[in-house]
């Protein structure tokens, strides 16, 4: 088995004539903590979606244990947690029903106590019976973040999070930071794309896409 969870070589991505990622090389090792930062349009979300295998590349490779993530996508995605700015919640289900459906899809036990604790971890237990169609954007984001607690107790050790603190109020932000701290104590591997560096602890390595681009263009 490779020593790297992820090996990125010469990643390049264009949208039309605009090159959003240029010559990215990155190794992600087990237990590593990486924060991806940069201004809007620097390619943070594109980088994360490419790592998961959702955004194809025009040039370069992304491998997990020497396997191309684009050729091994279902198995790869099932062994990590990816949360982006799209919550993926069904508006026709309640908060609790959404979490239950997601847990079932992952092949985990839909134990009511675990689901309730997951909602409580982000302050959503009192909204369990609220339909997503009636929820604010902030509540939707918190409902999606409850998945992190479930992944934690199900021993998923790789999180990829895109702007996880968007739409969170101060109370929810504190709860989210507590989840991150628990995950780090479990020696999980994590990649976060964020503009909010207050959620980053000392052990994080910073990948600044803006600085990377300037170095490549100089």
Topology adopted by domain 1-80+158-164+189-218: Rossmann fold (3.40.50)
When pLDDT is cut at 50, 70 and 90, the band that residue 155 belongs to is: confident
Cα-based angle 6, 63, 3 (whole degrees, multiple of 5): 45
**pLDDT of 101 strictly over 80:** yes
User: Quick one: what percent of the chain has pLDDT higher than 90?
Assistant: 40
**pLDDT of 2 strictly over 70:** no
pLDDT at 72: 63
**pLDDT of 87 strictly over 80:** no
């Amino acid at each position: 088995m490779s020593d790297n969870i992820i090996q990125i070589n010469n990643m390049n991505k264009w949208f039309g004539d605009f090159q959003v990622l240029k010559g990215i090389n990155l190794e992600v090792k087990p237990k590593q903590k990486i924060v991806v930062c940069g201004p809007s349009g620097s390619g943070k979300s594109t980088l994360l979606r490419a790592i998961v295998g959702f955004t194809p590349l025009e040039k370069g490779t992304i491998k997990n244990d020497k396997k191309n993530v684009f050729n091994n996508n279902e198995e790869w995605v099932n062994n990590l947690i990816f949360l982006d700015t799209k919550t993926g919640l069904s508006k026709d289900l309640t908060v609790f029903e959404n979490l239950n459906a997601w847990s079932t899809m992952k092949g985990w036990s839909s134990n009511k106590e675990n689901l309730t604790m997951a909602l409580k971890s982000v302050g959503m237990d009192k909204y369990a019976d609220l339909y997503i169609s009636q929820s604010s954007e902030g509540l939707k984001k918190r409902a999606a973040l409850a998945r992190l607690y479930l992944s934690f107790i199900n021993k998923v050790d790789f999180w990829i999070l895109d702007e996880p603190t968007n739409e969170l109020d101060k109370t929810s932000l504190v709860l989210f930071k507590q989840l991150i701290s628990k995950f780090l104590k479990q020696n999980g591997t994590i990649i976060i794309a964020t503009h909010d560096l207050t959620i980053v602890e000392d052990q994080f390595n910073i990948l600044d896409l803006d600085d990377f681009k300037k170095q490549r263009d100089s």
